[in-house]
Amino acid sequence: MLRDLLVRMSRSQKAAIIVAIDAFLVIAAFVGGNAMLTGSFPTVAILRASTPFLLTMVPAAIAVILYFDLHRMKLNSYELKGVIQTALMASVSGATGMLTSIVIGAGISPQLFVIFSMILLIASASARLVLREIVIRIYRQGKGLKRVLIYGAGRTGQQLAAALVTDIEVSPVAFVDDNPALHGLTISGLKVQSSKSIERLVETHRVDRIVLAMPSASEADKARIARQLSHLACEVHIMPSFAQMVMTDGHATATKPLDFSKLLGRNHLESELPGVSEAYKGKTVLVTGAGGSIGSELCRQIAMCQPRMLIMLDHSELLLYRIHRKLESLHCDAEIRAVLGSVCEPALVRQLFLDHDIDVVLHAAAYKHLPLLETNAVEGMRNNVIGTKVVADAARAHGAERFILISTDKAVRPTSALGVSKRLAEMLVQDLATRSTKTMFSMVRFGNVLGSSGSVIPLFQEQIARGGPVTVTHSDVTRYFMTVSEAVRLVLLAGSFARGGDVFVLDMGEPISIWQLARKMIRNAGFTVRDAANPQGDIEILFTGLRQGEKLREELLIGSDMLTTPHPKILRAQESHLSELEMANVLHELRRLIEDHDEQATIELANRWVETAKSGSGDKMVPATNSEKLLSN
């Protein structure tokens, strides 16, 4: 009955009730302040003498309430900001009473108005909190509440708990977290307990759903948690990450069921194209750059394909240690080898092929941070071009079945040292494909990977956490985006049906505005954007100007010829490349310039042979005069 009454009441009626309650509390607080100051309840004469003060204090309080719309603030959203506004209302009302006392010469002690303001603040704030609890209980009557256990007491978990406290259909019962430092703490009214207590908590509280509030957790951590929860008789859902929100235009705000089949090692590639995992099953697979964003995910997904051996090569000790530890926690059947070293070391790479009879190479090792490579072009060329040459030559010499180069959209008509180096690496692989009788050389080109090292997502999150500003190079900048897991899955699928010389391009969907992405992330973090339209907003977006070598819009194709493949999101491009003689001369000259560390000449050489955005498009990639000049050296 009460629930029906609340539903029928208009917003203005509810607001009027709040104003009436506050007006009554002003009177009650003044009477209470008198009683506390004198030690006895005020007499009728004193109450009559108080009338002039109440006639000014009540309107003053109502004026502040109306100014801040405190009477229209939803009870569910009454938190710190509302309490501060209530405190201001109480202070203004008390100050008005004190001013009235001075004007009429009543000679009342200022202590009375200080006590009055404190009582009014406590009473008004408490009234709203009590009303919120009463309304929630009324709405919850007769409803079967879904009891939720939150796994993860970090920022995401805390925001989820704060939202659910006032929900009329869901009731959070506790936090669980793997961090011992949080155990025993109370957050948002919920106690944080060890993840070892999950079974007891599920049984004691009759938990209906466990929500993993850990959107940034690695796949290995999710797999470990999945094993822990898979036998429980309750639903297990996961909160979406920023990446998922961006890719779904902000509609991925609801939790989704946890995919146990994926996390527990049941091969997800088979659901895309049946039989595709046979390309990796029982094989010895080498992943270069194994510690990076793409490389580590390649290792994780390959491990699910039951290879005979997975060899991980990386020059970063820390990153290699991390991916090795994660794969060990998956307890996959494949033999895992972690090799510390650089792809630019021919002796090391040759020894790997001699010792392990490698079948498949996934070459993800590359320097990729655009601004750094602009000032370190020589090392970028050494790692991205010569490193690719070293690994590709070893794969061809030892008869590996497949070599797959991980490339980037920045290689298409590049404007940066990064893009030029990756395009040269592509042409190198294309050239080897024409001369290889056993090894099938191919490459997969795609755009930005959400959340990877150096991408805008972690940068924006860090800037938002610091309170801004969020830096965007240009308001018109757009980029193609794909989640790392989807990109890697498509890379492995493309590699399985490569025929040699293929340039695979992933369908990245529509390009996303970086400016709009920044605005969305600010809003998703619970803040408002500060701009000309909203000068009182929380976080400003600052435009810094395009960096050297940066494009407004990236491309995925050099030409326009595209062929389909067995998968709708993987296309095969038809692109020209250098001849064997031209490629040999480019590499010979490039090696010499790298050894001399002649940065300017290295850049000029690369730009002569790569079709850049400035040089325009055309079938012939290198002018004849440049070719003749280089061949004469």
231 to each of 162, 202, 214, 235, 236, how far by Cα in Å? 29, 12, 20, 10, 11
Q: Which pair of structure tokens corresponds to residue 628?
A: 């003749």
Q: What is the DSSP string of 128-194?
A: HHHHHHHHHHHHHTT--PEEEEEE--SHHHHHHHHHHTT-SSEEEEEEEES-GGGTT-EETTEEEEE
Residue 357 CA to residue 355 CA, distance in Å, equals 6
Is 410 designated active site? yes
Q: What is the DSSP string of 355-377?
A: HH---EEEE------HHHHHH-H
Q: Which pair of structure tokens corresponds to residue 496?
A: 């399985």
Q: Is 602 helix (H, G, I), strand (E, B) or coil?
A: helix
Residue 10 CA to residue 168 CA, distance in Å, equals 19
Phi, psi of 530 (to 5 degrees): -90, 115
Residue 173 CA to residue 195 CA, distance in Å, equals 14
Strand order in the sheet with 529-530: 470-472, 539-543, 529-530
**Contact (CB, 8 A) for 364 and 288:** yes
Q: Which pair of structure tokens corresponds to residue 591?
A: 């090696």
Q: By C-alpha distance, which of 464, 364, 367, 416 is closest to 155?
A: 464
User: Using the 8-state DSSP alphabet, how is residue 383 labeled?
Assistant: I
Q: Which pair of structure tokens corresponds to residue 277?
A: 């995992």
* HEC readout, 281-298: CCCEEEEECCCCHHHHHH
The length of the chain in residues reads 633
- The alpha carbon torsion through 147, 151, 153, 155 (nearest 10 deg) reads -90
User: Using the 8-state DSSP alphabet, how is residue 409 labeled?
Assistant: G
Which residues are CB-neighbours of 598 under 8 A, at least 6 positions away? 378
Q: Which pair of structure tokens corresponds to residue 358?
A: 């490698």
Selected catalytic residue, list 262, 326, 389, 410? 410
Q: By C-alpha distance, which of 474, 609, 482, 632 is closest to 553?
A: 474
Question: What is the greatest pairwise CA distance in the chain?
Answer: 113
b/e 54-90 (16+ beta carbons within 10 angstroms → b)? bebbbebbbebbeebebbebebeebeeebeebbbebb
User: Using the 8-state DSSP alphabet, how is residue 385 labeled?
Assistant: I
Catalytic residue set? 410
